[in-house]
Every structure is written in C-alpha cells, then in structure tokens.
Structure 1
C-alpha cells in the first residue's frame, strides 16, 4: 500500500472528524450527568495537538523502513483486522498500535474536561513510538537527540500555562515501545540505538506509559502489551474464560518464541538455548501427553497470528517466559489470557514492571520463578521443578491466573456497559497514572 492509499484509508474512515466528535460527545455527556461528583479527582484533559503529532504519522503506515506494511493494523482503531470474518473478539493486533488504541479509548473516558485548569491530569495524544521510527531506522538516525523537541516547542508556544501549571508533573503519554528505545544518552556521539526522548530534561517530569520500563526512572511505568483478544461485551469475555477454565492441559510446559537455536547465532549459553535443549530431550510423564512443546515463532511468524500459539497455550499447564532482546514479552499476557501459568526467569520480565496490573506482592500466587543462572550455569532442570509442584498448587495458580485475565486485556472501544464495569488494562493504567500524578503534584507543592 502506498502513501496515497494510506491517506485514502484515513480520510475514508473519517479519522479526524471521528476523534473530534467523540471528544465532544464524551465531555458533554459527563458534564451534564448526575455522576459528575464521581469525577471530582479524576478529570482528564486531552491536549489538542496538531495532526503531525498523531494522525499524520499513520498516513506513512506503508513507508517505515525495516518494517512490514503497518497499514493493515490500523483497522478497528488500531486493533487490526479480525482474525477471520466471523470473529467477534479476536484481531491481528500489532503492539506498535497501542498509542492509537489508547487514544481511542481515552475519547470515551467518562471524566473528560475541556478545561485544562480543572483537570487532574493532561493526556498528550502523541504517537511517540511511531514518530521514533524515523530516528531508529530512517535518515534522521544521526539526529535522535531531537526526538520530542518539536512537541516540547509546541507545548511551550501554545497555551504554555498548561505545561507550566505543575511543571508538567500532571502530563502523561503512551509510548508503544520499551523505554530503552527512548533512552539514548544525549552525550552519545555517534549515536547508538534509540532516541533520547526520555533523556531530555524538558520531559523529566511527565509520566510515560511504556511497554517496558527501566528500573530506576520514576516517570516511567510499564503497561501490558496488547494481546489479540478485545471482547465487546461481558458475555464474550465470560465465554472465553469458561473455555479457558475447561481446557484440558495435556502439556506440562510450552515455550512460544524464537531464539536459542543452533544455526547462525551465537553458541554461548543462554536461557533460550537451555529451554530448547531440555525440551527437545524431554522424556515421558504419565500425567501428561507431552512434557514440553515448542511453538517456533522465529522471524515474527506468530506476531499477527494468535491461533498459532493460543491453541497450544490452552493445552499447556505452564508457559515459559525467558527474556530475549529485552526482559519483557507480549507472550506473558497471551499466556495469562490462555490460563497458562507463566514461568519467569528474572524479575525484570514482569515482577518489577506491571505493578498496576500484576500485583508484585502476589506473584507467587499466579506464577513460578526459576532463576535463569541456575538453569544456564548450574544445570537446574526446568521440567523437574515444574513436575514437583503439587497438583493442588497448580490448580490454585491457574485459578489466580484466570482472575487476572480482565486485568491484561484491552477491551474493544464502545463496549457494553456490563463489560465497562469490569476494569481492563486501560482502566487500571488510568487509575495508576492518576494516583502517580496526584502523588507527584502533592509532593511538588509541599516542597514549594
């Protein structure tokens, strides 16, 4: 698809008009309702940004270097195309569309206000991950320290009092990439991988919702990778959970991913290589049809095809979540969705990342932790560890995993009232962001 076709898709779907109308309707509905008291400490203002910061970036969907054509994944407001024509909940969702998905959901947030001075938080609908692509892969890779400066200059020139009111502590945005991709030190010359957005002093005070956060910056917080499951009503969600609960678990452990193979890559020890070796040499167990299974997702073959890995996950008791290029994995949330108990090999994979969605103090209630060093360097057998877990404990772990399913999915926009009453990944992210901003603003004013 060329750029003209991409632009035609956007114009044909009435994107700009729809976004504007949705904002007006949402604000008008709430300000006129009797529920206004419930929004007293939850008002959010969506900052109006020129289209070059969001919608125009979608017009280039087929032109980003080093990437496949992103245009097919713009459908359904970023959820992507349905996996098949009769599907009511499953889509070919690309994680890079989280900024678009989040923006669309913000437009139906019940506590929107057109008055920024009344708002407790200011949302910047800036598609930072998409805008970063020209610095990551394009001709501007040598100018990555400039990423975000054009946004800052606009915020300084257009109603600067909004940005200055709390020194930007009340602002937040979504970045659909790991924070590491925006964390190149400004002193790097020549530049390495990444942009310097999160290293710019101008943005030190805003809250960044990323797919993976670093351990130390207070302004970053990780939110779940979007899965392919986006139900429209409560019945569809409950039907899926029932299917997950009743699914026969005939496989002890499953690994869906790439890496760790013997060809072409490094032969140095690593956790993925250990998993593949152990799985390929697994013996039998009378309690399971298979002790271990690998779903090869090399070269991105699973990324937009959830059937490829969800069916095996539904049959597995445990899903192995080894770190790869970065500690976190979308597969973590796919496995929870399938009722497959996640097995982590380092805390950075989830425990120290997703506290709003996967409570850190409850990790042992829904997951298993096995230190990767014990496996790679000391010969600890993963399957032996999992086989020793009592069946009663396995049932308890899975029960808690099932309870977490609503926490990690992004429901479809315009969903039914019944489903809206059950908080999803978006709702929990907003709650956490408001709490975070409230704390920072109070601290700021106590110091002043």
Structure 2
C-alpha cells in the first residue's frame, strides 16, 4: 500500500461578514512549498499562488518581505518561505516555541495558532488556485523524493569497505566538545539517572533477561556510540594527508540536552557550536574543501539544531553558514537539506558477531505471536490532531488476541524488555508519530520482527535511504492518518484483512534482509557475513567522498 503524497487539513471560522480568521492547523507535519516552482512562475500565476497562500496559511508582510508560514503543533514550528522584491527564495526554516518544562528534549505540545484576518477570495480565483496548490504539493514531494534518490545513488555496491586510498581521519577535538559533555550527564535530565546510560561505551547496562547483546541504551546515545566505533574502524588513519573522510566527533545532541531544563540565553546555548566552527576553520583539511569531506553525527532530530532568531528552542548549529557543506547524520533529517541524512535510532540490541545476529534471527522468526496488533505509547490529550487517542480507543475495544496496549504514560514502557517482549508477541506494531514524525519504536519493532504500521510517510519512508528500501510495502503497512482521524477506518479491522502469507513474507524480509543493517554492533564487534547500521553508513560515506573527488 503506497502512502499519499501529502496530507493537508485546516479549519476556518467566521469572525465577521465577508472576513474570516484563518487558523493554521496541521499540514501533515512537513508542508513543503516548492520554491523552485515559484521562482519560475509567471507573475500572474505567482500572484494567484500568493493569494491562495494568503487565505490558507499564515502570510505575514514585513516591509518588502513576504513570509509564508505553516504551523505544525507537533513541534510548535512555523515553517516559513520568505520572498523579497527579487525572486530569491529561502528554504523553509523552523521557528520553534517551546517550554523548558518539556521532557527529554522533545519540542513540546504547546498549541500555537496564528490568526490572520483576510478577505475571502472570489470562487473563480479560489478554484484556479486550488488546482495550482495541488500541483505545488505534488511537485514539492517530488523534490523530497529526488533528494532521497540522490542519497541512494551514494550507496556502496560493496558489502566490505576497501580502505585503499580512502582513509578516515578522526579529529581529536578538545574535550569540551565531547568527553566533558558526557561528564555533565548527572545534570542533564532532572528525573533520570542519565549517567547510567553512558556505561559500557554509551550502550548502557546489560539487559540479561533478553540475552547477549542487549543493553539499556538511551535514544540520545548515538553520538558516543558512533564515535567509539569509528575510532576502531579499519580505515582509520592518523595522518590527515592520507584521509579522504574527516569525522568530527562533536556531541551536539548532548550539548542541546544540557540546556533543555535550564533558563539560559540563546548566546549561551550557541557558545559551543560557534567554538566548534572557529576550531574547524583553523584546520587545514577543512580549509582545503570547505568541509565537504567532513561528517558530523548528531543524536537528536534536525529541528533541535535549527533554532530561528525568534525562538528559544535548541541551538543554531545547523543554521550556521559554515556547516552547510558537511554531511550531517541524524536520527531524523530535515527534508529540505540535501546534506541531512537519516540513519537509524539506536536500539537496545548491539551484537558482537555474526553468530549473535543469527541467533536473534532464529529467535524472532520462531516467536509465538499471540496478538495481531500492539501499541506501546501514550495518548496526546493536548494535541487534538494526533491520532494516538483514536488508535488506543480502537485497540482497547477488542480483546488481547486482536490488540494489546502498553500505556507508556503510566510507566509501562520504562523497562525496555517489556516493550521488546510485547513486540515479539505481536504481528503488527502501530507506529503513529509523537512530538516529531520519526519514532525510535519503529526500529524496536523491526528488531523484534513486528511489522510496523505507519501513518505518516515522514516517519520512515522519507528518512532513511541507506537503511530502508524504497519499496516500503516489503516491510510495513501504511494507513493514511487522515482516514483514521476522520474515523473512516478501524485500524485493527484493516490489519485483520492482511493475509497470513503477506505477514510471513514481510516478516521474513524484515528478519533476514533488514534487521542486521538496523542495529549498531558493540564497540569491538566483528562482522564478516553482515553489515550493521554503522558499517552501511561508513561504507556509503566513503563511496560518496570518492565520487566527489572524481567530479572535482
């Protein structure tokens, strides 16, 4: 089942005769305005488009600058396309408004609606603009898909990295950029013993109940995990003149996390990012190629590093001009930036060898799946557009053989083994988006052999071109969230119609084709038969650097 290209909804209410207040509602989280098309559009058509945008989104005029903004309440963002007197359009950037009381670095649920009073356009103009808008949305999604096609073109054809002439140089950054941040773990999240998650080279404490290779890994531990692995990579070189790829081990996610629950100025939040740029600009390899052969791994979502000047959330790291050329590997990419690449969230499984992978494959393929459907999560009562409450209601209206619900709001998900065991006993795992489109739980379900059910294409389909296939039907089921929101579909009943053979085919593909490439091996792992998520990522980076060099 193929996902729709874009889901758009908005509500409008009368405020006085011939005028209306436009409330900007959810637009499928990522509403993309096709700036290239606007640039090429004739003046008349451009005017029609702007008139439509005036009536259906938030249009703010400041001087000779037009700002077309779309609100997403999942991150409380305004995504703005700004146009001046000349046809010079900027890529949309987030304006985030958030409360410091928001937990664990998510972007809050404070509902913000922008009210603009506008004259109603005439029906003739509106009909013409509706058609134009549909074309714009379709073309916008094509742009996102084209970026993913480019990312996939960088994939290495070899299962094993050849290091001949492709050395990896790991910068020995001053400790304030990484080790010292880990040292502040005790003060990062007030209600969590966060330091425990950095034991065993950031894998966390072992989970013996699940077996060998299972750890209490935190979802924001990707930066030190990746750093430990790259330090031991066989292609690592110690002479920068022998390197083709330069790894910058900056723990930017931990830098952000330490300020989430403290009242500090934006200047304080940006201090380390600016210091990093200053440090890099003093390095010869950076100067030679303007950072194009450099890579950063960031363990939080892209939006946390793209703070707008009108916001207080996160840092401006990825908005700095100097950091536009390097590749940024993130657990959630920003779809308008070609150098943002999504890589898997870290799961709790970190195999050491091929045998560990094979043993787990055997276990999950034979697992007794007692329930058809399960959902591990919590409702979002303060986000009316979120479909979680509907899914919970549909699930709990049946018996446990059809659907089981694990309430994370009541602490049911505090123990990772509870979630993994639930997924191992389920055919399908519901994966609605939370405070942002992506969800670590998607990877937890895949590692458990549970078929993920997705409701937004940005949850996975537009995120991970190196680790998930373009044919999404091989490993997942897609159900349009608008159909759920409008009560047009009962998800449990829909999944009951998926045949046993279809389930088995998807599960075998997940277990034997996808699973090994979705987990990060431990720091000393040795794989001969398989590539894990780390190996796939580094091999593709080396391939990209080689191609860049041949072009230059």
TM-score (norm 2): 0.67
- Equivalent position to 2:538, from 430, 433, 439: 430
Is 1:332 matched with 2:442? yes
Residues 377-434 of structure 1: CA deviation (Å, up to 9, x unaligned): 142111122111121111111111112110111111212x4x3541001111112323
Q: Tell me, in whole angstroms, the C-alpha distance in 1 between the residues paired with 2:544 and 2:407.
A: 39
Is 1:75 matched with 2:237? no
Contact map agreement 2:210 2:417 (CA 8 A) in 1: no
SS across alignment from 1:221: strand
Q: Tell me, in whole angstroms, the C-alpha distance in 2 between the residues paired with 1:267 and 1:230.
A: 35
Q: Tell me, in whole angstroms, the C-alpha distance in 2 between the residues paired with 1:397 and 1:356.
A: 19
CA shift for structure 1 position 67: 5.5
Give the corresponding residue for 1:294.
405
Contact map agreement 1:184 1:194 (CA 8 A) in 2: yes
- Residues 148/79 of structure 1: CA separation in 2 closer, same or farther (3 Å cut): same
Give the corresponding residue for 2:14.
none
CA shift for structure 1 position 277: 1.0
- Equivalent position to 1:45, from 169, 188, 191: 169
CA shift for structure 1 position 232: 1.9
Mapping 1:191-210, distance limit 5 Å: 191-210=311-330
Contact map agreement 1:146 1:196 (CA 8 A) in 2: no
Give the corresponding residue for 2:273.
148
- Across the aligned residues of Structure 1 and Structure 2, the Cα RMSD in angstroms comes to 2.1
Is 1:356 matched with 2:476? no
Structure label with greater radius of gyration: 2
Give the corresponding residue for 1:343.
453
Contact map agreement 1:249 1:317 (CA 8 A) in 2: yes
Unaligned runs of 5+ in 2: 1-159
Give the corresponding residue for 1:180.
303
CA shift for structure 1 position 234: 2.3
Q: Which has the higher strand share?
A: 2
Total equivalences in the alignment: 391
- Equivalent position to 1:171, from 274, 278, 294: 294
- Residues 438/378 of structure 1: CA separation in 2 closer, same or farther (3 Å cut): farther
CA shift for structure 1 position 88: 2.4
Q: Which has the higher helix share?
A: 1
CA shift for structure 1 position 266: 2.6
CA shift for structure 1 position 373: 0.4
SS across alignment from 2:443: helix
Contact map agreement 1:197 1:203 (CA 8 A) in 2: yes
Residues 36-74 of structure 1: CA deviation (Å, up to 9, x unaligned): 993125311111211111111111110125452321111
- Equivalent position to 2:387, from 271, 274, 286: 271
CA shift for structure 1 position 156: 2.1
Contact map agreement 1:135 1:142 (CA 8 A) in 2: no
Q: Tell me, in whole angstroms, the C-alpha distance in 1 between the residues paired with 2:536 and 2:189.
A: 34
Contact map agreement 2:438 2:460 (CA 8 A) in 1: yes
SS across alignment from 1:39: coil
Give the corresponding residue for 1:132.
256
